[in-house]
Each structure stands twice: as structure tokens, then as C-alpha cells.
Amino acid sequence: MMIDWDDAADSFDDEPDHGLRDPAVRAAWAERLRGWLPAAPADVLDLGCGTGSLALLAAGQGHRVTGVDRSPRMVQLAREKLTGTGARVLAGDAVQPPVGERKFDVVLARHVLWALPDPEAVLRRWSSLLRPGGRLVLVEGVWGEQSPAGIPAERLTTALAPTAARVHVERLSSDARLWGREVADERYAVVAVVAGRPRHTEVVDVHLIVRRGADVLLARRAGTGYADGLLHAPSGHTEDGEDVRAAMIREAYEEVGLVLTPDQLRVALVMQHRGPGGAPRIGWFFEVPDGAGGEPVNREPDKCSGIGWYPLSALPDDMVAYCRAGLDAYRAGERFLIHWHEDGDSVAYDGTPRGVPLPVSGGHGSGHGGVHHIELWTADLESGEASWGWLLGELGHTPYQRWERGRSWRRGDTYVVLEQSADLTGDRHDRTRPGLNHIAFQLRDRAALDTLVRRAPEHGWRLLFPERHPYAGGAGHYAAYLEDASGFEVELVAD
């Protein structure tokens, strides 16, 4: 790629550019970068890129560059400067750059780290953005005699020593070409190569399942640089020293304004997942009772274009794929899941089944002693499918088998069969005769039970013992008893 450096510089004569408008200065920095960066093409992340001067040099050497700056003005100038180079410039914080799960060969920062709180924690975060064998290139210094500002090189080398395979410090103060003049203060570059085979670590993220009856809360991502335009549950990741419950409570408030307590959180699902081109992560999905924490609001309009309620039984397709898989598994009663993308896969849900549920041992072999399936014989399969299909779907069961005389719905390792057998001897189930009286299902809370009771008549169910509802089973036993057109009874329990 050929770049006319003079034209590029002339276009930005009025911008603050750290002296890189001077052709001699620019040539000196290009020479240094060539020694610091790996052989092209490499993926370079320029943090606090400003107007994009170093990014332009790196792109001119054949690298694939992504710049990040929190100033809208700098982002605009950098995008204009980098037009035609293939480089991307994102608006965002250098500490938590909006690059999703992407990994890079180089993280480059010039005169940025010294101004950030807790540089050691920032270095750990930046190192996590690198592929094995990747490198940090940090240009820093200490300026001023009366009130020195900056960060000494020794502090960076000490912080990098535990995780870097090699750390090189290059003194820059004596090279006047870099600054366009002689300088007397401390200026240097640190090039740190991370270990080729670091101990495996995974980001731990948290996701919140907020229900309103049969609906679930989803937010549409915007302006983050990852999966923008797609729906996702309120989510985030743990910070250093933070457990998953504390992280979920913090993220719930920051994103949708819910004020939650640890006792309101219930673990719904744990998932190991990998996005396209990313590293594996561990996701904890929590659910809370209906109405817990208040009414959700969009507290991050810069990252979310809106929130809304969507039917859990008919989730939209324009979702982040692993979130969709997590909610589908939650609805099906799964508790552990692996969801794996290959490089080049779509981040968006595309119907491809990538989720692999993991069985949970019952202590004496998988499923030992548990209910395998329940089979009900009905005289009217069409009517039964309408009533039972709706109810079981609301309870998290998914269609499993289908044949001429039967249907089944599965939740975890257990399934329910409805069959119109040729051997049937009657035309209606009598629950008062010897045999099956009713099937009882556990609901997560009273609000979910009340929602099902309200909607049940629309789907072929009538409420039994209405004069004693919801305590027909006794004081303190919050439940509903429903009967369908074929005489089958179910008990819905919300203790």
C-alpha cells in the first residue's frame, strides 16, 4: 500500500499530533515502529490513538490496525486520516476497549498508561487482549522537574515480569529526531512479549434472566464494537476480586437499573462458550423472581439502543447466538452447556445447533432413580396437543417426538408422552378412579403461577376448586389445580 505522507500530514496541520507532522519526526517513528512490531501483516490495537498518527504508520507498514479513542473529535480525525488504509477506529475507553472477544498480535499505546488509574491492572487487561506470543508496545516517560508526571520504566518492567516471556526497555530521550528537538527528561519504550504458552485463563461473564410472566427482558446492543444491533440479556463480566453474584448485582444496576440482593439470585445455567475468533469464556446465567429489583430501564443508552420484553417460548432470531442458546437451554431445563463457534461463524443466531448440553450425574450413574418419562393416553390427540403443548411449553419443555398417534415434550432427561392409542378402552380420563390422579409441576414463583392460571382457559384448561384457590391444597401451599377437556389434572406449585 502506498501512502502520500505529505498529503496526509498537510490535511491535519491544525491538529495536536505530538510532532508527527514533521516528515523527519514521522520517519524516525516509522523506523522505531518497524523494530517494535512483528513482521507484517499483524493485528495491531492502537489504544488512545488520538488522531491516528501511529496507526497510520503501522498501516503503512502493512499491518491490520484497530484504533480506539474516547474523544469523538479524535475519532473523527483519525477516521479521516486513515481513509483507504483498511484501518478501523472505534470510540471507547482504552482501559476496556470495545473490541469484544477479538485477540491481537500487538497492543500499542503512546503516552496513555501514565494517565490511567492502577496501571498494573490495566496492563493485565491489555495483556489479556493478546494472542500467545503477542506483544505490548508502550511509549511512556517522566516529565517535569518541579512536579514530575508520568511513570518510570522500572514500574512497568516490575509489573510485566510475572507474565512476560521477555521485556525490553528502549531509551528514547537521546534521539532528538523523535521529538524534533533535544529533550532532557526520561522517555522510553517498553516492548513486552507475553509467554508463548501462558497458563490458561478464561473471562467469567454473567447474564441476567429477567422474567415478566412468559416474557424475558432483552437489550439491543449499540456502539460497543461487538454484536451491535443484536439482542442480548443484560450481562457483563467479573472484575478482579469480584465473585459472580457481586458482578451480576453490579451489572444489573449499571445496565437496566435493577437493585438486587444476593438472596434474589438463582443460578439458571453455566455455559462455557467461545465466539468467532475469540477465546473461551465461562458464562453464569442467573434468574430472579418476577418484579425483583424494580422496573427495568435503559441506563446505558451509549451501549444499548433499547430494551424490551420478548416471549421466551418464541425468541427472536436477531440475537447473539450464545445468548439465544443459553435461553433455549434454560427453557429446556438444561443446567450446563458448551456453545462453541469456529472462526468465521456468525456472531448472530443463524439456526445452527452449536449448544451441547452436559448431563448431570445423580450420584449413582447419570439419571439413576429419576423419572424417565410419563405417558398419558388421550381420546383426542388434537385437543390434547393444544392444551398440553401450551402448558408444557410454558413450563420449559420442548417438542421432542412426533408420530401419527402421539406427541412428546422433553425437559432435561425427562419427557412427557401424549398418545391416542388404538388399544384405548374409554373416551375420557377419570381422575377419581384408581390410577393416575394428577401430575404436579414446580413453578419458580407465585407470579409465574398466576400468569399461567390467567392464560390457561384460552388453551383448554379450567381451574378446579376456584372457591379455595390458590390454597386448595391447604394453608401455606400456594398452588393451582387445572383440568383439561379430557379429564387430566395438573397441579402447579409455587411454594
- pLDDT tens for residues 21-58? 788 899 999 999 999 999 889 999 999 999 999 999 99
* Structural domain boundaries in the chain: 5-194, 203-357, 373-493
| Fold classified for 373-493 | 2,3-Dihydroxybiphenyl 1,2-Dioxygenase; domain 1 (3.10.180)
- Compare 146 and 74 and report the one with higher pLDDT: 74
438 and 490 Cβ atoms separated by less than 8 Å? yes
Architecture of domain 203-357: Alpha-Beta Complex (3.90)
Give the relative orientation of helices 53-60 and 23-36 as an angle to the nearest 10 degrees: 60
- What is the share, in percent, of the chain residues with pLDDT greater than 90? 67
Q: Flag whether pLDDT at 478 surpasses 70.
A: yes
Q: What is the rounded average pLDDT of the residues 334-351? A: 92
Q: How far is C-alpha 164 from the geometric centre of its chain's CA atoms?
A: 28
pLDDT of residue 99: 92
Contact 468, 416 (CB under 8 A): no
Percent of the chain whose pLDDT exceeds 70: 93
Q: Do the domains 373-493 and 5-194 match in fold?
A: no
CATH topology of domain 5-194: Rossmann fold (3.40.50)
Determine the residue type at 165.
Answer: A
Mean pLDDT (whole number) for 206-211: 96
Selected residue with higher pLDDT from 143 and 458: 458
Inform me whether the pLDDT recorded for 14 exceeds 70.
no
Report how far apart, in Å, the C-alpha atoms of 207 and of each of 79, 113, 255, 308, 353 are. 34, 31, 11, 16, 21
Question: Which of residues 263 and 333 earns the better pLDDT score?
Answer: 263
Residue 247 to residues 207, 267, 281, 384, Cα–Cα distance (Å): 10, 13, 15, 44
Return the pLDDT at 198: 53
Query: Average of pLDDT values for 388-400?
Result: 88
Average pLDDT of the chain? 89
Binned at pLDDT 50, 70 and 90, residue 333 comes out as confident
The residue among 361 and 494 whose pLDDT is bigger is 494
Average pLDDT (241-257) is 95
Q: What is the pLDDT of residue 199?
A: 61
Predicted local distance difference test score (pLDDT) of residue 304: 95
* The predicted structure's pLDDT at residue 9: 36
At residue 224, the pLDDT reads: 87
Predicted pLDDT at 270 = 97
Residue 363 is predicted with a pLDDT of 46
